[in-house]
A and B are shown apart, each in its own frame.
Chain A
Amino acid sequence: MTYFIDRRANAKHKSAVNRQRFLDRYRTHIKRSVEEAVNRRSITDMERGEKISIPSRDISEPVFQHGSGGRRSIIAPGNREFQEGDRLRRPGGGGGGDGSGEGGASNQGEGMDEFAFSLTREEFLEFVFDGLELPHLERKPLVDVEEVRPVRAGVSRDGVPARINIVRSMREAHARRIAMRAPIRRALREAQEALATEERKDPVLRNPARIQELKDEIERLEKRLEAVPFIDTYDLRYNHLVNQPQPSSKAVMFCVMDVSGSMTQSHKDIAKRFFLLLYLFLERSYERVELVFVRHHTAAREVDEEEFFYSRETGGTIVSSALTLVDEIIDKRYPPTQWNLYVAQASDGDNWDDDSINCRELLTESLMSRLQYFTYVEITPHAHQALWEEYERVEAAFPDRFAMRQIVEPGDIYPVFRELFKRRADA
């Protein structure tokens, strides 16, 4: 009456719904922990889960229980030296002895101050970017499309072996075999019946020639039946793919940073974190995200990531040089019809006075119309300079595509990031 069932192949994550409910219920707690984690973590470290602790009193499931006090009796094992009537001091002051064998109460985290558990990487990022949205996330229209994707389009008789549709091919073969064998089978059956009739006759009446003739006929038909091929090239069917134009879901993110002498390594770290958050965020929204690093002092240069963040330069600052370079790169490699363009700029606010006006003109006249979004963070505890003021005018002109904030210390990054990308009510 016993039977074994192998359930290993069944769905796991039966508790996934319950897990999600738990996370939803303690959203505010978890979010607080996540925010702390983001501020604390190093930049390369964003792509993993996080351990979360929630005070266990906040998530306890209350039931009626005895409190301490009164008179209670406790039976415990392992007596060594006690005699009846011995008096003992209370362990740990007022509370009264624990360990009364009230099984089952303990693994609820009773007595522990924190209920700790881990978020997966996906859940972690989900919380990091919860309530944020990319401004002007749009699928680029199909003008002058270069991006295509192969799409299934039924079956065809021609194709490469790798795309054979086995089920359809076998079905064709089966049908063909039935069709080709049917007349042979019919003839065979007739011949067999004739043979049987002939053999049932009285031996005197049999016609040996006729029998032989029928036997030959049967043999010939059976050979023909066997000769019908199991599968024929004629049967083969191939999955047919056609190329279909795709709306673009590519984005390119330009990281623009001032590396003049006034930018210290800690400025750069702050900037790097900001860029990283933006990158992670873009990655969640687009299938492909490319990064372009543009650094500048008096002249701008496109560099790789390592150089971007770590090599040192000195000298003055001309911001417009970087913007011009971005403009050129866009022209050369990233036509706005196919790419979603984002620019994130970080600087300490220094610029040659005359240049700030150039920056504004460059932005308003050329760049902004092609960009999805431009973010500018100024990493400085000091008062703003000309660049900020000019950018404020740009922001006024493009209120929904241009955003700027000031960051003073690393702890500001995440709040500023959230503010820049928070979901707009009217969006």
Chain B
Amino acid sequence: MNSLSRRRSTPIASGSDWTFDILTEFEVEIARLADEYRLDSYPNQIEIITTEQMMDAYASVGMPVGYHHWSFGKQFLATEQAYRRGQMGLAYELVINSDPCIAYLMEENTLMMQVLVMAHACYGHNSFFKGNYLFRAWTDASSIVDYLVFARKYLGECEERYGVQAVEQLLDACHALQNYGVDRYKRPSPVSAEEEARRQKEREDYLQAQVNTLWRTIPGRLPGDSPEPQASEEDPLGLHEGGRYPPEPQENLLYFIEKNAPLLAPWQREVVRIVRKLAQYFYPQRQTQVMNEGWATFWHYTLMNRLFDDGAVDEGLMLEFLQSHTAVVSQPPFDSPWFNGINPYALGFAIFTDLRRICESPDDEDREWFPDIAGSDWRETLNFAMRNFKDESFIQQFLSPKVIRDLKLFQIIDDDHEETLEVAAIHDERGYRRIREALSAQYALSLREPNIQVYEADIRGDRSLTLRHVQDQRRPLARSVYPVMRHLHQLWGFPIKLESIEGEEVARRYHWPLPESDETGNHQGG
């Protein structure tokens, strides 16, 4: 009705060539539709770039201005090689969580692809960045580009003053720990460039002063320690009294290093801080992959269909679109040679699409599983889902039996105490809840990455740093633990110990540097 009345007699354009005029016209049209669907997004800054530039953008993990590091060069070489050999098409979109939201269009793309990317990135991802609670809490879209410029400039200056190698080694160490540079539970202050620059100098002095207090040559009691030394059998004078430092385990390793590492120079602390801040900026993205891609895919699908219904695109372009869309949301089964884990586009798209169905035409099953949303306004419901969840909770909340059936999900338990693998749940009445639970856990960052926290810094003794790894389901650490500890050792400057805890007991201890006699810590594991 409404859409029919506005139906155009001729499409905006056809064929596969694009011009800036045509793109602008499409953009206006998509913006109008997005507005109708009440998508709230940042202004868009759409940049047309070449393939080569796209590979550059890839290599810098999508940061429009990156500092220099060999690992980005490695990434570039890998991308280039894969692309040249034709193993990989370049993703046709790259979008940056910034205000204005920067999206890249490759010049080689066909018209259809440009329109698709605009719908996907400039309205899908963009509205996700603006709406989702994690992004709102963790990132400041308006200042990220400024911060990146600051970081690049600062690291450039460091390289000039202290040498490329010194900075590179420091960055290597920080990168190894960047997944542990985030406060998971505490709301951080968003990254802000101006403030960083303004406060940087005073912070240098302040930080150093703080560290100096902590590491005074003559150990004294810290403020907040128990006032009187307590004598005991092994320590009659109470020299080791005063409690552990830090009193509570610290999950943010890089933060702890930045504030407490005894030997780091002020500029090195600042570099640690930069890596930490950038890790924080990417933290929401790592937790919302399924939702973010699903949301963007859902919207490009919806918007493209509306464009077609309104007569803005013709059949040819629509067919091309459907082909490409189908490829994006395909989910090869587990035994296919193309299987590479669960495709976040497919899963996210399936969940959002099914949510809309549940709202628009619910059946009995939906009313039983989703009594609150069955039959509700789909735009409100989808918006609510997009705003208030991350992958883990989103799946827990919205993965419907129908999606489980459609994707034929099943759960395998791989227990090293058992001879065989067990199929624990399949897509049936008994399995739905278990699969939902387990899939949700599979996306929980806290379970995906080993849980490692700072347990103790021995500020009165040998200055060693002790970490604790709390095992999840008896899963041990991979061998990469040694190189990471080596990096940590470089930052801390004194011995590093890592205790792997299973239940209440220490199942395994790691040391760096390796003890002289006892090679690679052959303590018995569980």
The residues of B that contact A70 with a CB separation of less than 8 Å are 415-416, 471-476
| Cβ-defined contact, B46 with A3, below 8 A | yes
Does B43 touch A at the CB level, under 8 Å?
yes
CA distance A17 to B71 in the complex (A): 11
Contacting residue for B410 out of A20, A22, A82, A101, CB 8 A:
A82
| Cβ-defined contact, B20 with A4, below 8 A | yes
Stretch from B72-80, B193-201, B210-218 at the A interface = B72-80
CA distance A54 to B342 in the complex (A): 30
| Cβ-defined contact, B77 with A117, below 8 A | yes
Stretch from B229-237, B355-363, B368-376, B434-442 at the A interface = B434-442
**Binary contact readout B402-436 vs A (1 if CB under 8 angstroms, 0 otherwise):** 00000111111111110011111111101100010
Stretch from B52-60, B266-274, B307-315 at the A interface = B52-60
The residues of A that contact B45 with a CB separation of less than 8 Å are 2-3, 5
Return 21 A-B CB contacts under 8 Å, by A number. Answer: A1-B43, A2-B27, A14-B53, A18-B66, A19-B73, A21-B164, A21-B168, A60-B483, A64-B478, A65-B450, A67-B479, A72-B473, A74-B412, A76-B334, A78-B334, A78-B407, A82-B410, A87-B421, A103-B289, A117-B80, A118-B80
Given contacts A18-B70, A61-B176, A100-B341, 12 further A-B pairs with CB under 8 A are A1-B100, A2-B46, A10-B53, A18-B59, A25-B168, A61-B71, A70-B473, A70-B476, A73-B413, A75-B435, A78-B336, A118-B81
Chain A, Cβ-Cβ closest to B487: A62
CA distance A167 to B405 in the complex (A): 74
The residues of B that contact A60 with a CB separation of less than 8 Å are 480, 483
Identify which of residues 58-94 in chain A touch chain B, using a CB-to-CB cut-off of 8 Å. 59-80, 82-90
The residues of A that contact B411 with a CB separation of less than 8 Å are 73-75
Measured CB to CB, the closest approach of chain A to B445, in angstroms, equals 11
CA distance A10 to B286 in the complex (A): 30
The residues of B that contact A13 with a CB separation of less than 8 Å are 52, 56
Contacting residue for B409 out of A76, A97, A104, CB 8 A:
A76
Chain A, Cβ-Cβ closest to B430: A84
Contacting residue for A96 out of B77, B336, B414, CB 8 A:
B414
The residues of B that contact A21 with a CB separation of less than 8 Å are 68-70, 73, 164, 168
| Cβ-defined contact, A66 with B341, below 8 A | no
Does A115 touch B at the CB level, under 8 Å?
yes
The residues of B that contact A382 with a CB separation of less than 8 Å are none
CA distance A69 to B413 in the complex (A): 12
The residues of B that contact A117 with a CB separation of less than 8 Å are 77-78, 80-81
Residues of A within 8 A of B (CB): 1-8, 10, 12-15, 17-25, 59-80, 82-90, 96-97, 99-104, 106-109, 115-118
**Binary contact readout B172-185 vs A (1 if CB under 8 angstroms, 0 otherwise):** 10011111100000
Chain B, Cβ-Cβ closest to A97: B414
The residues of B that contact A24 with a CB separation of less than 8 Å are 70
Measured CB to CB, the closest approach of chain B to A89, in angstroms, equals 6
**Chain B count of residues within 8 A CB distance of the other chain:** 105
Given A12-B50, A97-B414, answer yes or no on A2-B44 (Cβ-Cβ < 8 Å): yes
The residues of A that contact B474 with a CB separation of less than 8 Å are 69-71
Contacting residue for B48 out of A5, A17, A20, A71, CB 8 A:
A5
Does B449 touch A at the CB level, under 8 Å?
yes
The residues of A that contact B243 with a CB separation of less than 8 Å are none
CA distance A8 to B53 in the complex (A): 8
CA distance A111 to B442 in the complex (A): 21
Contacting residue for B47 out of A7, A19, A116, CB 8 A:
A7
| Cβ-defined contact, A75 with B484, below 8 A | no
CA distance A118 to B80 in the complex (A): 9
Given A67-B479, A75-B409, answer yes or no on A118-B84 (Cβ-Cβ < 8 Å): yes
Interface of B is mostly: mixed
Contacting residue for A78 out of B77, B335, B481, CB 8 A:
B335
Does B6 touch A at the CB level, under 8 Å?
no
The residues of B that contact A8 with a CB separation of less than 8 Å are 48-50, 53, 107
Q: Which of A68, A84, A86 has the most CB of B within 10 A?
A: A84
CA distance A88 to B423 in the complex (A): 8
Measured CB to CB, the closest approach of chain A to B238, in angstroms, equals 36
Contacting residue for A88 out of B415, B420, B449, CB 8 A:
B420
| Cβ-defined contact, B478 with A65, below 8 A | yes
| Cβ-defined contact, A78 with B422, below 8 A | no
CA distance A376 to B32 in the complex (A): 79
Interface of A is mostly: loop
CA distance A67 to B487 in the complex (A): 19
| Cβ-defined contact, B48 with A7, below 8 A | yes
Measured CB to CB, the closest approach of chain B to A23, in angstroms, equals 7
Identify which of residues 278-293 in chain B touch chain A, using a CB-to-CB cut-off of 8 Å. 286, 289
Does B448 touch A at the CB level, under 8 Å?
yes
Given A67-B476, A78-B333, A89-B421, answer yes or no on A84-B431 (Cβ-Cβ < 8 Å): yes
Chain B, Cβ-Cβ closest to A109: B78
CA distance A354 to B80 in the complex (A): 61
Does B31 touch A at the CB level, under 8 Å?
yes
The residues of A that contact B407 with a CB separation of less than 8 Å are 77-78
The residues of A that contact B421 with a CB separation of less than 8 Å are 87-90, 97
| Cβ-defined contact, A18 with B76, below 8 A | yes
CA distance A82 to B31 in the complex (A): 47
| Cβ-defined contact, A66 with B476, below 8 A | yes
**Binary contact readout B370-393 vs A (1 if CB under 8 angstroms, 0 otherwise):** 000000000000000000000000
The residues of A that contact B480 with a CB separation of less than 8 Å are 60, 62-65
Q: Which of B55, B122, B441, B475 has the most CB of A within 10 A?
A: B475
Does B222 touch A at the CB level, under 8 Å?
no
Given A63-B480, A70-B474, answer yes or no on A15-B342 (Cβ-Cβ < 8 Å): no
Identify which of residues 457-479 in chain B touch chain A, using a CB-to-CB cut-off of 8 Å. 469, 471-479
Does B23 touch A at the CB level, under 8 Å?
yes
CA distance A70 to B478 in the complex (A): 12
Chain B, Cβ-Cβ closest to A1: B43
Measured CB to CB, the closest approach of chain B to A112, in angstroms, equals 10
| Cβ-defined contact, B426 with A64, below 8 A | no
Does B332 touch A at the CB level, under 8 Å?
yes
CA distance A87 to B412 in the complex (A): 9
Chain A, Cβ-Cβ closest to B123: A2
Measured CB to CB, the closest approach of chain B to A52, in angstroms, equals 9
| Cβ-defined contact, B475 with A66, below 8 A | yes
| Cβ-defined contact, B68 with A62, below 8 A | no
Chain B, Cβ-Cβ closest to A117: B77
Does B9 touch A at the CB level, under 8 Å?
no
Chain B, Cβ-Cβ closest to A107: B78
Chain B, Cβ-Cβ closest to A76: B334
The residues of B that contact A99 with a CB separation of less than 8 Å are 334, 339-341
List 7 tightest A-B contacts by C-beta distance, closest first: A78-B333, A22-B73, A70-B475, A18-B73, A101-B341, A70-B474, A67-B478
Chain B, Cβ-Cβ closest to A74: B412
Does B24 touch A at the CB level, under 8 Å?
yes
